[in-house]
Amino acid sequence: MQEAELHDLSDDADYAASQQQGSSSTMRTDSIKRSSSNEPDGAEIVYSKDNVAIHPTQFVSERISGRLKLIKQGSSLFMTWLPYKEQNSNAKQIEKAYVDRNLYTIKAVPFTEVRSIRRHAPPLGWQYVIIVLSSGLAFPPFYFYNGGVRQFLATIKQHVFLVRSAEDASVFLVNDFENPLQRTFSSLELPRLVSVASGPSTPISVGESPLKENQERINGYESSSISQYNGRQRQKVHDPTRDISIQVLEKFSLVTKFARETTSQLFRDGHSNGFGTFEKMFDSQPAQDDLHKASNNAEKVTDEIPVASDPLEFDKLSLVWGKPRQPPLGSEEWATFLDNEGRVMDSEALRKRIFYGGVEHGLRREVWGLLLGYYAYDSTYAEREYLRTIKSQKCILAFLLNYDFSISPEQARRFTKFRERKGLIDKDVVRTDRALTFYDGDDNPNVNLLRDTLLTYSFYNFDLGYCQGMSDLMSPILFVMRDESESFWCFVQLMERLGPNFNRDQSGMHSQLFALSKLAELLDSPLHNYFKQNDCLNYFFCFRWLLIQFKREFEYEETMRLWEVLWTHYLSEHLHLYVCVAVLKRYRRKIMGEQMDFDTLLKFINELSGHIKLDAILRDAEALCICAGENGAANIPPGTPPSLPIDSGLFYSQQEDEVL
Amino acid sequence: MSYAYLFKYIIIGDTGVGKSCLLLQFTDKRFQPVHDLTIGVEFGARMITIDNKPIKLQIWDTAGQESFRSITRSYYRGAAGALLVYDITRRETFNHLASWLEDARQHANANMTIMLIGNKCDLAHRRAVSTEEGEQFAKEHGLIFMEASAKTAQNVEEAFIKTAATIYKKIQDGVFDVSNESYGIKVGYGGIPGPSGGRDGASSQAGGCCS
């Protein structure tokens, strides 16, 4: 119905300008397009425009000019922008220009990856466009010094589905077959970054569609990471920050060095340091190069993967009381799990290895990222690096929103709530692991990082907010990651699973306590009956264990070891419940022998802190898990944390229908 | 260690009012500004003497955050005394007292002795709740009242002991059936069981205040 309007670009404000400036390159473009667009195969240039520049700084002398092209290959349209070589500058400038060229060069971005194009026609100065990718990533503004924005859009329109946004006439949505508004929002879904950064690649594209990625993963364990992905999207649907995100995101694309000076006051609260990494987001070229190599090697790598026998089939025989624990995974052995690009070749084998021994501390930063799902197992070194740089920008985004000083009354209301939370977090971070060197002393910057990451999260997931216990979960992550944005995103991943522990109504905790009682009944019915007779059936005495994953029961290093074992989800997602049963079983004689009542039991369990032998308990838990087998799993209701929530899925998907 | 009686106390109140610090000051006679926040519940114990009788206080220090209330409620069971704590420098912690009291009344036994403590009284320059307001609230709700400082130890010993003395008096007055442990009182070796079955003395619940 909008067909006529969709294809009508005559209201294009820069049309006249482009006609006036009417450079020879525009004409040339037309002739190229007409002469070659009928050929079915092979790459052809359908648009080429000179003097399209970006502005890394506010100085005219430092602008980088180049040629913008649209290339058609088969049925796909790609965009490239190659800067010109520097000619008459001094050595230093040349060096700098070289760096910048590498930084900003765009080689063949497929339009399947492009979400929207915003056209700006300022009354003074040149027209420019901002191209936003489906990942939410945006290229720096392209200034058309020779005009030709309209031509650019018209050419794109001939090859891909281009529609003017109903919301904003200066925005053109690419391949938007649904409600344009919805797609604009969905382009902000942060998780989609993962698909760009970690998707397998064809020789010419930066990434692959998330759909294909999902299909490829669906058979294995990885399927859970898909639902994780979906779950996260569901949560984001409610995110109040979303509405203004689109504006902020575009602002970010303007925040190159060019705009840094003028916007830095926004970030004076000490968060401006992230801009170093923000700039790197444009440095996608090395990652692309690696992707090229990767895809070339892909088949070879697949052939090299040994055919793994079903580990459980084989292991069952040897497991009576849990296998002896192994030393932690060291760097030499870690290397054997990776192909030459850094992909984990057999994630099941890796998870199994970590399950039986954990990892050396030096490897945790990378391995935790994988276990938590921050990185995909099949991501390369380069892709992980790429993700880190994009995500650090996203983390700043979250901060920007924190300090966005409210726009609407609704946000003002939220801001009040936010300030309350900030007060809580301020109080709690100075009461979290302060005995640890990493967090001790006055004005410790790590304590500030702990506060900042929690604060960001409380805004990122506004409905959940902040609850005591979260700082205990964040602390080791920050200790391992040492970086604000990595810690934040890993925590986001962890909270996908453990978030329900902090529900206001304690529903997540109650469902775990219930599952625990069912497991205890299955694995030690006399003890369970004892609890029943002594009014201890609520298993509240295990509350702290579950809430913060035994964080207060072990030494710091042991906690990290336990967590990485739990996060493998090898054998069970709910190994922590088996760990609970294992501890209770170990002390059952004492508990029952001394006829402990609820109070005594609670006190006794509390005082076990620091006295539980981790390796022994893990062996017991493993054995119990295997003994319980399917019966054990059947006693744990679906959706019990840390499983990804399922019961809310219906609700959220309805929401999705409305909003997306 | 032998005792005549064991009293169970519970410390409640908003997060960050100084519950754990009060406990530590009482049990270890030290102030530790840097300690981990309480998850679930922590325990402390100390022997005191009242009327020449050794009495053991077993003190449950609870997590203050609102969302843990449903768990905290299960800890009230069988408490003989409660320390309800607010922070005199943060008005909102005083405003929440009524809701804490409601929880306590609902989930603890009716004869539980409640001591209201306005903590951090060393920070007089930042005071947001006057002593009179604290006294008034205590009077209205039949609580014992003290302002204290876990940092300087001012009134900390007194608060715990006065609560114990009140409970002890209730035993003497026959308010409690000490053979029934749901009152939060255990009779130890060498303890002298008080008059039993005396529930009728409920009206003698302490209502005074001191400062």
Taking the Cβ of residue B8 and every Cβ of chain A, the question of whether any pair is shorter than 8 Å is answered with yes
Contact A548 B16 (CB under 8 A): no
Q: How far, in Å, CA of A59 to CA of A54, rounded?
A: 11
ipTM of predicted complex: 0.88
Handedness of CA A230, A235, A238, A239 (dihedral sign): negative
The predicted model scores a pTM of 0.63
Residue A430: list chain B partners with CB under 8 A: 34
The whole-angstrom separation of Cα A338 and Cα A376 is 13
Query: Which of A432, A603, A606 is nearest residue B36 as measured by Cβ atoms?
Result: A432
CB proximity B203 to A under 8 Å: no
| Residue A431 half-sphere exposure toward CB, CA atoms < 13 A | 22
Neighbours of A174 (CB within 10 A): 24
Q: Give the pLDDT score at A351.
A: 97
Least confident interval from A121-135, A150-164, A249-263: A249-263
How many angstroms separate the CA of residue B139 from the nearest CA in chain A?
Answer: 30
Q: How many helices (H) and strands (E) does chain A have?
A: 31, 9
Q: Which residue has the tokens 């022994």?
A: A616
What residues of chain B lie within 8 A of the CB of A472, using their CB? Answer: 39
CB contact under 8 A, A506 and B15: no
> Which member of A504, A599, A606 has the closest CB to residue B42?
A606
Predicted confidence (pLDDT) per residue in B10-66, tens digit: 999 999 999 999 999 999 999 987 889 999 999 999 999 999 999 999 999 999 998
Tokens in use for A337? 């799990």
> Between the ranges A65-69, A72-76, A182-186, B26-30, where is the mean pLDDT highest?
B26-30
Mean pLDDT of A238-258: 36
Contact A552 B36 (CB under 8 A): yes
Tokens of B85: 């704590």
Query: What is the structure's pLDDT at A404?
Result: 46
- A603 vs A40, residue with greater confidence: A603
Q: Which of A544, A545, A608 to mutate to test the interface with B (most CBs of B within 10 A)?
A: A544
Using alpha carbons only, how large is chain A's radius of gyration in Å? Answer: 28
Label residue A499 exposed, middle or buried (CB < 10 Å: 0-12, 13-18, 19+). Answer: buried
Residue of A nearest to B78 (CA): A599
Cβ-nearest to A468 among B8, B37, B41: B37
Over residues B63-84, the mean pLDDT reads: 90
The reply to whether residue A540 touches residue B78, judged by beta carbons under 8 angstroms, is: no
CA B51 vs CA A243, A422, B177, B209: distances in Å? 68, 48, 19, 21
Question: Inter-chain contact B70–A506, Cβ cutoff 8 Å?
Answer: yes
Confidence of residue A160 (pLDDT cuts 50, 70, 90): confident
Q: Copy the structure tokens of residue A501.
A: 């522990």
- Average pLDDT, integer, range A363-378: 96
What is d(CA B201, CA A154) in angstroms, rounded to the nearest whole number?
91
- Taking phi over 0 as left and psi of -120 to 50 as alpha, with beta for the rest, B155 belongs to left
Is the distance from CB of A255 to CB of A393 less than 8 angstroms? no
Work out the mean pLDDT of chain B and round it to a whole number: 88
Distance from CA of B133 to the nearest CA of A (A): 24
Q: Which of residues 25-84 of B touch A (CB under 8 A)?
A: 34-37, 39-43, 58, 63, 65-68, 70-71, 74-75, 77-78
Return d(Cα B61, Cα B69) in angstroms, integer: 13
Do B33 and B83 meet the contact criterion of CB atoms below 8 Å apart? no
The answer to whether the beta carbons of residues A620 and A580 sit under 8 Å apart is no
Q: Give the SS3 label for residue A199.
A: coil
Span A288-299, pLDDT tens digits: 344 344 444 433
Smallest CA–CA distance from A420 into chain B, residue: B92
Q: In what order do the strands lie in the sheet with A171-174?
A: A106-110, A76-83, A64-73, A43-54, A142-144, A128-133, A114-120, A171-174, A162-164
Q: Which residues pair with A9 in a beta bridge?
A: none
Q: Does B150 touch chain A (CB under 8 A)?
A: no
Instruction: Test B36 with A427 for CB contact under 8 angstroms.
Output: no
3-state secondary structure of B81: strand
Question: What mean pLDDT do residues A7-23 have?
Answer: 43
C-alpha distance from A225 to closest chain B C-alpha (Å): 29
Helix, strand, or coil (residue A293):
helix
Chain mean pLDDT for chain A: 72
The percent of residues above 70 in pLDDT, for chain A, comes to 61
- pLDDT above 70 for B182: yes
Instruction: Name the 3-class secondary structure at A388.
Output: helix
Phi and psi based region of residue A473 (left: phi greater than 0; alpha: psi -120 to 50; beta: remaining)? alpha
Residue of A436, A540, A608 for testing the chain B interface, max B β-carbons within 10 Å: A540
Instruction: Calculate mean pLDDT across residues A417-422.
Output: 83
Q: In sequence order, what E strands does A161-240 have? A: 162-164, 171-174
Q: Do B71 and A509 touch (CB under 8 A)?
A: yes
The answer on pLDDT for A12 being more than 60 is no
Residue A199 predicted with pLDDT over 80: no
Of A18-32, A154-168, A247-261, give the lowest mean pLDDT range. Answer: A247-261
Q: Are B162 and B210 in contact (CB under 8 A)?
A: yes
Give which of A447, A473, A543, A555 to mutate to test B binding, by max B Cβ within 10 Å. A543
Judge contact between B24 and B35, C-beta under 8 A.
Answer: yes
pLDDT given at position B6: 94
Residue A2 clears pLDDT 60, i.e. is over it:
no
Sign of CA dihedral A571, A574, A576, A581: negative
Cα B101 to Cα B7, B96, B97, B114, distances in angstroms: 20, 9, 6, 9
Q: What is the DSSP string of chain B?
A: ---SEEEEEEEE-STTSSHHHHHHHHHHS---SS-PPP-SEEEEEEEEEETTEEEEEEEEEE---GGGHHHHHHHHTT-SEEEEEEETT-HHHHHTHHHHHHHHHHHS-TT-EEEEEEE-TT-GGG--S-HHHHHHHHHHHT-EEEE--TTT-TTHHHHHHHHHHHHHHHHHTT-S-TTSGGGSEEE-TT-----SS-GGGGGG-------
CA B139 to chain centre: 16
* A567-625 tens-digit pLDDT: 999 999 999 999 999 999 999 999 999 999 999 999 999 999 999 999 999 999 999 99
Check whether B75 has a pLDDT greater than 60: yes
Question: Of A296, A103, A332, which is closest to residue A203 (Cα–Cα)?
Answer: A296
Q: What's the pLDDT score for residue A95?
A: 56
Count, residues in chain B: 211
Which residue's structure tokens are 């003890």? A527
CA distance linking residue A35 with residue A38, whole number of Å: 8
Question: What token pair was written down for A385?
Answer: 């690096």
Confidence of residue A135 (pLDDT cuts 50, 70, 90): low
Chain A residues within 8 A of B67 when measuring between CB atoms: 467-468, 502-504, 506
DSSP labels for A489-504? HHHHHHHHHHGGGG-T
Write down how long chain A is: 660
Burial tier of B116 (Cβ tally within 10 Å: 0-12, 13-18, 19+): buried
Nearest-Cα residue of chain A relative to residue B32: A431
Considering only alpha carbons, which residue of chain A is nearest residue B76? A599
pLDDT (average), residues A531-543: 94
- pLDDT recorded at residue A587: 95
- Enumerate the residues of chain B whose CB falls inside 8 A of the CB of residue A609: none
CB atoms B43 and A607 under 8 Å: yes
Amino acid in the structure at residue A6: L
| pLDDT for the residue numbered A570 | 94
How many percent of chain B have pLDDT more than 90?
A: 72
Residues 6+ apart with CB under 8 A from A307: none
Residue A387, pLDDT score: 87
Assess contact for A187 and A179: CB atoms under 8 A. Answer: no
Question: φ and ψ at B58, to 5 degrees?
Answer: -110, 115
Highest mean pLDDT among A263-267, A631-635, B163-167, B193-197: B163-167
Which residues make beta-bridge pairs with B73?
none
- Convert the pLDDT of each residue in A443-479 to its tens digit: 999 999 999 999 989 888 888 999 999 999 999 999 9
C-alpha distance from B49 to closest chain A C-alpha (Å): 23
Task: Give contacts of B70 with chain A, Cβ < 8 Å.
Answer: 505-506
Residue closest to A552 by CA, chosen among A448, A468, A480: A468
Residue the block writes with tokens 């892709």: A383
- At residue A47, the 3 state secondary structure works out as strand
Burial class (CB in 10 A: 0-12, 13-18, 19+), A647: exposed
CB count in 10 Å sphere of residue B69 = 18
State how far residue A476 is from chain B, nearest Cα, in angstroms.
Answer: 14
Please, where are the H alpha helices in B79-195? 91-95, 97-107, 131-141, 156-172
Per-residue confidence (pLDDT) for residue A57, from 0 to 100:
61
What's the gap in Å between the CA of B146 and the closest CA on chain A?
A: 24
DSSP symbol at A344: B
**CATH architecture of the region B3-185:** 3-Layer(aba) Sandwich (3.40)
Beta bridge partners of A47: A70
Domains of chain B by residue range: 3-185
Would you state the pLDDT for residue A76? 86
At A94, the pLDDT band (50, 70, 90 cuts) reads low
- Bigger pLDDT: B41 vs A271: B41
pLDDT at A143: 86
Indicate yes or no: CB of B40 within 8 angstroms of CB of A544: yes
Residue of A nearest to B18 (CA): A427
Tell me the chain A residues in contact with residue B75 when contact means C-beta distances shorter than 8 Å: 602
Q: How far is A504 from chain B (nearest CA, A)?
A: 5
Please judge whether B65 and A424 are an interchain contact, meaning their C-beta atoms are less than 8 angstroms apart: yes
A266: number of Cβ within 10 Å? 16
Distance in angstroms (rounded) separating the CA atoms of residues A329 and A360: 6
- Tell me what the mean pLDDT of segment A545-550 comes to: 97
Question: Contact at 8 Å (CB) between A440 and A415?
Answer: no
Residue from B7, B65, B120 whose CB has the most chain A CBs within 10 Å, to mutate: B65
A76-83 and A106-110 as β-strands: parallel, antiparallel, unpaired?
Answer: antiparallel
**Contacts with A440 from chain B: Cβ below 8 Å:** 34
Task: Compute the nearest-CA separation of B140 from chain A (Å).
Answer: 29
Give the nearest chain B residue to A548 (CA atoms): B39
Lowest mean pLDDT among A2-6, A276-280, A392-396: A276-280
Check B8 against A599: CB less than 8 A apart. Answer: yes
Dump pLDDT digits (tens) for A325-358. Answer: 899 999 999 999 999 999 999 999 999 999 999 9
Coil, strand, or helix at residue B123? coil
**How many CB contacts within 8 angstroms connect chain A with chain B?**
70
Q: Are A546 and A509 in contact (CB under 8 A)?
A: yes
A435: chain B residues, CB-CB within 8 Å? 34, 36
| DSSP 8-state class, residue B115 | E
Question: SS3 for B49?
Answer: strand
Q: Of A433, A468, A598, which is closest to B15 when you measure between CB atoms?
A: A468
- What H or E segment, with its residue span, contains residue A65? strand A64-73
**Nearest Cβ partner for A540 among B8, B15, B74:** B74
